[in-house]
Structure 1
Amino acid sequence: MVASIVGKELSKTNTVYFLPFLEDDNFLSLDPKKMIPINANRSIFEKMWIKSRKTIEFLFNDKSFTPSKYTKKELKSLISIIKEKEIDILILNSYISVAFFSTSIKKIFPNIKIISWMHEDTDYCFNYITKNYHLAFIAAIKLSDSIVCLSQKAYEVYKQINPNSFIIYNPMVLNSDRKANLKENVISFTSRLDIKIKGLDFLVDVAKGISDGWTIRVAGQGTPEEEEEFFRLINKNGVSTKIEYVGPLSGDELKAHYLSSSIFLSTSRTEALPLVIIEALSYGLPVVSFDHSGAIELLNQGENGILVSDFDTDEMADKVNSLIENFDLRESYQKKALKKAKSFEMSNILEKWNIVLNS
């Protein structure tokens, strides 16, 4: 979604094509003539055959495989589009497309400029997501002409591999023209219902410790199985009166979600640069979060919000209660939040992107 929004803005001064790799839904009503999917339709038999080949390579190649071997159909489509449209800059969005296409495209088109746009937390990316093709991923990063990442932590990692690395924040997507009045007895929480990554198990622990009369309102989408597991956690921990699940929200409903709350809570175990915290800041909400890299970046080491270490849910509940009991403290964090939110205005983001594109 963020890539589509930034690309749409860049298309005002550049010719931009959108090349979906894993899915081809046109979420933002992009010009169909500029949207060219390169995803390949494969039979179940072919998918099983590819999975078997990956497993064999993994077992006999020091527990590693080369991802580009298994996307030859997609690569062929991408090569054709580059030639036909005379593309001279290719932005590979996220670790998957970087690992799958960067090395091959650079060999075939040595003069094309490749920008690898990395959205993930580096610990999560290197130690979990790409651990089975670590060498191929590192090689792809080295071959890239530029790396765009989202935080100082990520920058420190990537600049050791590729010195031509930049920090560019994701832009604010949900336009905010008002700020919360901080007088509602509601704590907003916005997340997909991924129990592990988003720390919903931590959330129910925190809920047990917050002051009576306050509610954590959860907006987010999940599968029926994820919803069922979340409800099980709520009932098991006896916090059904403390947590209100309102389902997925967007547009004016999502704006109201933020405006009608007085504190924003994040319990994620890992995040690169969480959009929901950016949204909360833009509505002037005091933010309480675990100290993953994304929150550290957005809250300026705890200057613009409250960071909690070691996934300590008791301390997090105490910090939330300190905001509940002190309206002046909430207002103080609101001023800092609104100031930080200016960093995510589209004009600032585009200025930095143009530096990378033209460097």
Structure 2
Amino acid sequence: MSFNTVFVVTEMRLGGRERVVSNIAGALNEHTEVAIFSVWKRLPFFISKAPLYFDKNSFVQTKSHSVSQKLENKKWMKPIISIVKQLVPYTTLQRKRLDDLVDFLQQNNVKNVVLTDLTSTFAYQIRKCLPDINIISWIHMQPDAFFDIQYKGYKKELKRGLSSVNSLVALTPNQETEYKKYVSKTLFIPNPMPAVSKHLADMSKKTILIIARIDIQHKGLDYLKDLVNYVPNEWKIKVVGSGSPEDEKIFGDIVDSSDNKIIWESAVDGDKLEKVYQEASIFIMPSRFEGFPLTLGEAMSYGLPIIAFDLDGTRIILKDENNDYGILIPQGSVQKFGEEIIRLVSDESLRKKLSSKSMNRVATFSEKEITKEWLKLLR
């Protein structure tokens, strides 16, 4: 067996990054031989049209909707994990799996390896073992969040890894500029958005929707404690997602204190997820940072009007040189966010106007066009 390209992920868990890897790898697999390699040997939440491997002998076909439980999720382990991250390189912690990956790349005559986010640390060792392979780093968030928040413990090791890659894919022009400080050949390829759905959202439902991993800080779910005060009594905020036990407990307390204004359901996929989008009238994204949020594109494909904090990753979707395609709120301004919720729930004509803009916008980021950009890079 041989593959032209292998995408490497920590695991195919529930998440926007994992969904877009599944989609892009699957789309590319229609043009060239592509596989996905998972560092963690856990059943995937997503099944791609590209095959998933744990090693050269483990082709994974079974899907799981259970959310992975990690040591980092246990509160008493956090200080220990923090110290380990400072003292022990990720590549040392994952030495056996890194060896398995290198073996997989060698055995399958792989020409291109795409390292997503934290697995970019593997580039240094891969380069030593396979000097001729084309190594691409694909980073799904802005540099400050990537180095100083999400992977703070591995910042030095990540930068060493980036020094060994041939090129880096960033999700916005601003991120492209910033990452060029680390990899001179950095290029901007946005994530794809789904085509406009044949079954649009029911704009009569009094539901404000959030689809997100239950990650309190990253997804800004703690802001809901104040945002519910702006939601009229007949409306509800519906949150669909799963997360670590610790974050789910914190969010459960937020839901319990919301006077029944927040409805929380576990993560779903496929037809169930489609129904969730269809039964909403507004989509909101209160995240503190995002690279290029896939759920925003999904919501827009169902014709949902959008309110989101103004981040680099949301701005590129909701604004261009000539038009606004949703409502952007200054980062952290909960009052302004709440006022826009009031304005949107009170004005059906504005919701319909933004609904049309959402559907017009998604065509700009079609999977077909984004796949062409990836094919250019890989060839």
SS for the counterpart of 1:81 is helix
Deviation at 1:58, TM superposition (A): 4.5
Indicate which of 229, 233, 258 corresponds to 1:212: 233
CA pair 156-20 structure 1, distance change in 2 beyond 3 A: same
SS at match of 2:181: helix
Q: Write the deviation string for residues 249-281 of structure 1: whole angstroms up to 9, x where unpaired.
A: 322222222222211111111211112111111
Give me the whole-angstrom Cα distance separating, in 1, the residues matched to 2:373 and 2:212: 28
Q: Secondary structure at the match of 2:37?
A: coil
1:199 maps to 2:211: no
1:352: which partner in 2? 373
- CA shift, 1:151, in A, is 1.9
Find the counterpart in structure 2 of residue 276 from structure 1: 295
Greater helix percent: which structure? Answer: 1
| TM, length-normalised to structure 2 | 0.80
Q: CA deviation at 1:26?
A: 4.3
Match for residue 21 of structure 1? 39
**Alignment correspondent of 1:91:** 114
Distance 1:131 1:219 in 2: 28
* In the alignment, structure 1 residue 152 sits paired with structure 2 residue 173: yes
User: SS of 1:36's equivalent?
Assistant: strand
CA separation in 1, counterparts of 2:104 and 2:312?
A: 37
Is the 1:158–1:165 contact (alpha carbons within 8 Å) kept by the matching residues of 2? yes
Which of 161, 164, 167 is equivalent to 2:182?
161
How far apart are the structure 1 equivalents of 2:306 and 2:328? 8
Structure 1 counterpart of 2:124: 103
Q: Residue 188 of structure 1: CA displacement?
A: 1.2
Letter in 1 for 2:28: L
Alignment check: 8 A CA contact 2:238 2:262 kept: yes
- Name the CA distance, whole Å, in 2 between partners of 1:196 and 1:225: 12
Instruction: Give the letter for the 1:210 counterpart.
Output: V
Equivalenced residue count is: 338
What is the CA-CA distance between 1:98 and the residue it aligns to?
0.7
Letter in 2 for 1:84: Q
Q: CA 1:58/1:227 → structure 2, altered by over 3 Å: closer, same or farther?
A: closer
AA aligned opposite 1:68: T
* Deviates further, 320-329 or 172-181: 172-181
The CA distance in 2 between the partners of 1:207 and 1:247, in whole Å, is 20
Tell me which residue corresponds to 2:54: 37
Residues 122 and 157 in structure 1, CA contact (< 8 A), matched pair in contact too: yes
1:257 aligns with 276
- 2:29 corresponds to which residue? 11
- Can you list the C-alpha shifts for 1:96-146, whole angstroms capped at 9, x where unaligned? 2111x1011112222110111111332211112343343332232232111
Structure 2: gaps (5+ residues): 1-17, 57-70, 72-78
> Helix, strand or coil for the counterpart of 1:17?
strand
Q: In 2, distance between residues paired with 1:57 and 1:24? A: 22
Kept after mapping to 1: 8 A contact 2:196/2:359: no
In the aligned structure 2, how far is the partner of 1:198 from the partner of 1:265?
11
Alpha carbons 1:150, 1:273 under 8 Å: kept: yes
Aligned to 2:291, the other structure's residue is in SS state: coil
* CA-CA distance at 1:54 after TM superposition: 9.9
1:19 is aligned with what amino acid?
F
Contact 2:55 2:101 in 1 (8 A): yes
Q: Which residue of 2 aligns with 1:47?
A: none
- Residue number in structure 1 paired with 2:344: 323
Residues 203-254 of structure 1: CA deviation (Å, up to 9, x unaligned): 1311111233222122122455544432322343xx3232222332322222
**Mapping of 1:109-124 within 5 angstroms?**
109-124=130-145
CA distance in 2, matches of 1:241, 1:37: 43
Note closer, same or farther for the CA distance 1:209–1:149 as it changes in structure 2 (3 Å cut): same
Q: Secondary structure at the match of 1:161?
A: coil
Q: CA deviation at 1:22?
A: 2.1
Q: Greater CA deviation, 1-10 or 19-28? A: 19-28
CA contact (8 A) 2:255 2:263 kept: no
Q: What is the distance in 1 between the residues matched to 2:185 and 2:272?
A: 41
Counterpart residue identity of residue 72, structure 1: R
Whether 2:328 is the aligned partner of 1:307: answer: yes
Cα distance in 2 for residues equivalent to 1:31 and 1:213: 42
Measured in 2, the distance between the counterparts of 1:193 and 1:53 equals: 20
Distance 1:291 1:225 in 2: 28
